[in-house]
Amino acid sequence: MFITKKHLSRRTFLRGAGVTMALPFLESMVPAATPLAQTAARPRTRFGAIYFPHGATMDKWTPATEGSAFEFSEILQPLKPFKDRVNVISDLSHPQAYGGGSATSNHTRSAAAFLSGAQAKAGTQAYLGITMDQLAAQKIGQDTPLPSIELGIEDASLSCGDGLSCAYRDTISWQGPTSPLPMQNNPQVVFERLFGDGSTDTERRARRGQSLSLLDSVMGEASSLQKRLPAGDRSRVDQYLNDAREIERRVEKAGQQISADLNVPSAPAGIPKDFEQHIKLMFDLWVLAWQADITRVTTLLMAKELSNAVYAKSGVRDAFHILSHHSNLRENMDRFAVLNRYHVSTFTYLLEKLQAIPDGDGSLLDHSMVLYGSAMSDANQHNHNPLPIILAGSASGRLKGGRHLRNPKDTTMSNLLLAMLDKLDIRADKFGDSTAMMQI
362-375 pLDDT, tens digit each: 999 999 999 999 99
pLDDT of 363 reads 96
pLDDT of 214 reads 61
Checking if the pLDDT of 223 tops 60, the result is: yes
**What is the band of 261 on the pLDDT scale with cuts at 50, 70, 90?**
very low
What is the length of the chain? 440
372-394 average pLDDT score: 97
Q: Domain boundaries in the chain?
A: 1-42+189-270, 48-185+275-287+297-440
Low-confidence winner among 95-104, 120-129, 164-173, 231-240 (lowest mean pLDDT): 231-240
CATH tag for 48-185+275-287+297-440 (out of 3.40.720, 3.40.50, 3.20.14, 1.10.3470): 3.40.720
How do strand 362-363 and strand 86-89 relate by DSSP bridges? unpaired
97-104 average pLDDT score: 86
151-174 average pLDDT score: 89
Q: Distances from the Cα of 299 to the Cαs of 115, 141, 296, 308, in angstroms?
A: 10, 13, 10, 21
Checking if the pLDDT of 344 tops 70, the result is: yes
Cβ 369 vs Cβ 45: under 8 Å: yes
**What is the band of 319 on the pLDDT scale with cuts at 50, 70, 90?**
very high
Question: Which is more confidently placed, 222 or 48?
Answer: 48
How far does CA 264 lie from the centroid of its chain? 26
Cβ 387 vs Cβ 123: under 8 Å: no
How far does CA 313 lie from the centroid of its chain? 22
pLDDT of 234 reads 79
Distance between CA atoms of residues 242 and 284, nearest Å = 12
pLDDT of 204 reads 55
Distance between CA atoms of residues 302 and 284, nearest Å = 14
Strands in 228-374 per DSSP E: 297-301, 358-359, 362-363, 368-373
Strand partners for 11: none
Q: Strand, coil or helix: what is 299?
A: strand
Distance between CA atoms of residues 374 and 279, nearest Å = 17
Radius of gyration of the chain (CA): 22
Distance between CA atoms of residues 354 and 283, nearest Å = 10
pLDDT of 334 reads 98
pLDDT of 269 reads 54
Distance between CA atoms of residues 312 and 232, nearest Å = 42
pLDDT of 266 reads 39
pLDDT of 264 reads 33
pLDDT of 340 reads 98
Q: Using CA atoms in the order 231, 235, 238, 242, what is the torsion angle rounded to 10 degrees?
A: 170
Say which residues have a Cβ less than 8 Å from residue 253's Cβ, sequence separation at least 6.
none
